[in-house]
Homo-oligomer: A and B are copies of this chain.
Amino acid sequence: MTELGRPARDRAGELGTDLTVGADAVGSSLALVKSAGRVLQILEMFDEIQREARVSEIAERLNFPQSSTSVLLKCLAQMGYLDYDAGSRSFLPSPRVALLGAWLDKGPVRDGSLVRMLEHLSERTGGTVILAARNAIFSQYVHVLQARTAMRFHVPTGTRRLVVWSATGTALLADSPDAEISPLVRRTNAEAMAEQPPIQVAAVMANLARVRRDGHFFSRGLVTPGAGSIAVPLPKRIDRKGRPLAVAISGLVDEFERREAHIVATIQDAIARFLVHMD
């Protein structure tokens, strides 16, 4: 049987250690087609470690059984999506995957300036840096740079939060017309009710008002107790199709209380500096 409970490394104890924030990433029930999800998890894992890896490491990191991992990797290599180095018995994404999503963005995503901006933010703030996009009723973390501090929240790529009730989600909704909000909240309450107490439209609207007024949104443990997130909507047109994107920095709420102004300034400066040259 699969182990649905969180593995031991996730025991968050008392804020004294590495908090792993809930990751419904891709696994479990979300994957109607198991290996479909795994393929992409593997590619995303490489995105994170940026070097070759061997079967055992991949199996361990992603919590796949070793035997399945072995078969899947071999298959991906045969198809030419991974290169296999027999000497080191290690795998690495082939040039073929580099082209997979390339056409999607002629702008900052493709030329790397968006990623550079995220790296810059990571260095400057030390916090967890998150790039989020909307997916149905969720804000999904599309790219995550883990925090550099000793005490940190670990947030896997692919993590999802309710778009109407999270820092990144609020930022993503900043440009949506008011008329869409209320139906969205209803839908959210309908679909995600089991896990959350119902969300109030008024509260969501209040958050939206703030992000629209201030240009950023500070969530004080909106989702994860102890965690603060400062989210900022990215300019439209970052994505080729104009889909909204948002950045957020996450860290300890107490620390972020104090540094709020500075962090906001850092983010906005970074956006201005790194994302100017859009076609």
Interface residues of A (CB under 8 A from B): 26, 30-33, 35-40, 43-44, 46-47, 50, 71-72, 74-81, 83-84, 92-106, 109-112, 115, 131, 133, 135-136, 138, 140, 142-143, 158, 160, 239, 241, 243, 245
Chain B residue contacts of A140, Cβ below 8 A: 80, 96
* Given A72-B33, A75-B37, A80-B135: A112 touches B106 (CB 8 Å cut-off): yes
* Given A109-B95, A111-B112: A78 touches B133 (CB 8 Å cut-off): no
Contact A95 B33 (CB under 8 A): no
Shortest CB distance A269–B (Å): 23
Give which listed residue, B74, B102, B142, contacts A94 with CB less than 8 A.
B142
Interface centre among A47, A79, A84, by most B CB within 10 Å? A79
Copy tally for this chain in the complex stands at 2
In the complex, A102 Cα to B115 Cα: how many Å?
Answer: 9
In the complex, A32 Cα to B241 Cα: how many Å?
Answer: 35
In the complex, A98 Cα to B79 Cα: how many Å?
Answer: 20
Contact A95 B100 (CB under 8 A): no
In the complex, A160 Cα to B81 Cα: how many Å?
Answer: 13
Chain B residue contacts of A135, Cβ below 8 A: 77-78, 80, 83, 94
Contact B142 A30 (CB under 8 A): no
Q: Mind listing 10 A-B residue pairs with CB under 8 Å? A: A33-B35, A33-B72, A36-B39, A36-B72, A47-B103, A95-B104, A95-B109, A100-B100, A102-B112, A110-B111
* Given A36-B72, A110-B112, A158-B79: A102 touches B99 (CB 8 Å cut-off): no
* Given A72-B33, A92-B241: A101 touches B103 (CB 8 Å cut-off): no
Contact B36 A75 (CB under 8 A): yes
Chain B residue contacts of A81, Cβ below 8 A: 40
Give which listed residue, B33, B93, B97, B241, contacts A75 with CB less than 8 A.
B33
Supply 13 further A-B pairs (C-beta < 8 A) apart from A36-B38, A97-B104.
A32-B72, A35-B35, A35-B36, A36-B79, A37-B79, A40-B79, A40-B97, A47-B101, A78-B136, A96-B158, A98-B102, A103-B115, A111-B111
* Given A110-B98, A142-B80, A142-B99: A104 touches B93 (CB 8 Å cut-off): yes
In the complex, A31 Cα to B78 Cα: how many Å?
Answer: 8
